[in-house]
Amino acid sequence: MASGGNDNCVHLWEPLARETPLNTITAHQSAVKALSWCPWQAGVLATAGGTVDRTIRVWNTSTMAQLQSVDTGSQVSAIAWNSEYKELVTGHGFSHNQLTVWKYPSMTKVADLTGHTSRVLLLATSPDSSTVASVAADETIRLWKVWPVDREKKKVVKTSKSHPVSMLAQSIR
C-alpha cells in the first residue's frame, strides 16, 4: 500500500504487517495529493504534489528508483491509468483546473481537457476504461470520453474463456 500526506511524503506499507512504513519517498516539495499504482506493471507507482510541487513522479517501488518526473505547472490532485493506451490522466487544481492526458513512459502531454472552473478533486474511470468522470470543487461532475474502445477487440475478450468468473459472480448465479 501507499499513502501520501501533508508532510510531503509518500509512505509505502506492507498491509497489516507493520506499524512503520517499509520505505518513505521525500522528493515532493508540498503535500502529496495523488497516488496511483500502474495496473500493468507491478511495483510502479505514480505520485503527485500540490501547489508548490506541481510534479508527477513515477517510481519503481522495488528499487526505490524514480523512473519519471514532469512539472505540470499546476497542483495535481488525482491520477488514473489506462492499460490499453498505456496512458494516465491527471486532475489539476490551482491554477489550471483541468485534466491532462499523458503518454507513459515518456510522460509527453497528449491533451488538456478544460471545463472545470475550480480544482479537480477526484477522477474515476468507467468499467470499459473509455470514460473518465471528474468531480471538482465547482460542484460539477464531468464525463470525458478519453479513450475510444475497439469494439472488435472487446468482443473477443468478452467471449474469451481465458478469464475466470469471480467468486462473487459465481455465488450470485
| CATH number of this structure's domain 2-171, picked from the four choices 2.70.98.60, 2.40.110.10, 2.130.10.10, 2.30.110.10 | 2.130.10.10
| Count of other CB atoms within 10 angstroms of residue 36 | 20
Q: Could you read off the pLDDT of 13-43 as tens digits, one per residue? A: 988 877 899 999 999 999 999 999 999 999 9
Single pTM value for the model: 0.85
Q: At 62, which amino acid appears? A: S
Q: In the structure grid, which three cell numbers stand for residue 55, read together?
A: 510534479
State the maximum Cα–Cα separation within the chain, in Å, rounded to a whole number: 52
**Residue linked to cell 462473487:** 168
Q: Could you read off the pLDDT of 159-173 as tens digits, one per residue? A: 444 445 444 444 433
* Per-domain residue ranges of the chain: 2-171
